[in-house]
Amino acid sequence: MKVTVVQQNIIFDNVRANLRHMEELFARAPKSDIYLFPELCSTGFSLKPQAMAEKVNGLTAQRMLEWAAKYDAAFAGSVLTVDDEGRFYNRMYFARPDGTLDYYDKCNLFVYSGEDKVFTPGKGAVIWEFRGARIRPAICYDIRFPVFLYNRNEYDILLISGAFPKSRMLAWDTLVRARAIENLCYVAASNRVGVDDFGTYCGHSVIINPYGEKVGGCRSGSQGTTTVELDWDLMMNLRNRSLF
């Protein structure tokens, strides 16, 4: 299985421009099985989401489904979403080539920014299965909660959509590596680049193997992609030698 992480600059509150740009970026890495985008990839982050949020299964979700069918791959990334009751979610979609659309709502909201006062937390963990792989989604602040992400031999790949600023890159680099080591899994982590009202972002999007080794990464501060073919034998051999 091949996984591609997309590292993008997000244009604030411009869904259509971001979608065009996302396709330009991932099309440079054809023939992957999964493409992963950063947190709130089609709008950027806002604590005033009323005018920006997309309806459930809105334009970004539908475009991901179109891409999935066209490129025969799954597409994942978090989207600013509002339901029919007016509740806002930081929601990661997982669009498949067969037209099915799964989602995960961010559970651990970033209280220091006030995200918890605006968004509704998710109801818990989910696991997706795709082409023989078991996939656990996580969004940004989720990665600071190791017990929440603890792997009881339930998943093989941890997908992380992030928006960690440059000032917290040491934490990002350390946490994505730790989550791979302790859970004996692959971690694919997409973090944005660019500037918004909350800070500057330099990416450090990576793919980490179960030993904690970086096997793919994007250039710091630049848009781009990284693609890795996951080595299942490496992971299974490690798990068979552990107490997993």
Are the beta carbons of 41 and 77 closer than 8 angstroms?
A: yes
Active-site residue flag, 106? yes
Query: pLDDT value at position 242?
Result: 80
pLDDT per residue as tens digits for the range 32-73: 999 999 999 999 999 999 999 999 999 999 999 999 999 999
- Of residues 242 and 7, more confidence is placed in 7
Choose the catalytic residue: 41, 106, 115, 218: 106
Q: How would CATH label the architecture of 2-240?
A: 4-Layer Sandwich (3.60)
Report whether pLDDT(136) > 90.
yes
Longest dimension (CA), the chain: 52
pLDDT at residue 149 is higher than 70: yes
Cα separation, 29 vs 88, in Å, equals 32
The DSSP code sequence of 87-141 is: -EEEEEEEE-TTS-EEEEE--S--GGGTGGGTBPPPSS---EEETTEEEEEEEGG
Catalytically annotated residue among 39, 107, 185, 202: 39
Catalytic residue among 41, 107, 140, 218: 140
Q: Annotated catalytic, 115?
A: no
Q: Where are the domains of the chain?
A: 2-240
pLDDT tens-digit readout, 154-175: 999 999 999 999 999 999 999 9
pLDDT (tens digit per residue) in 77-133:
999 999 999 999 999 999 999 999 999 999 999 998 899 999 999 999 999 999 999
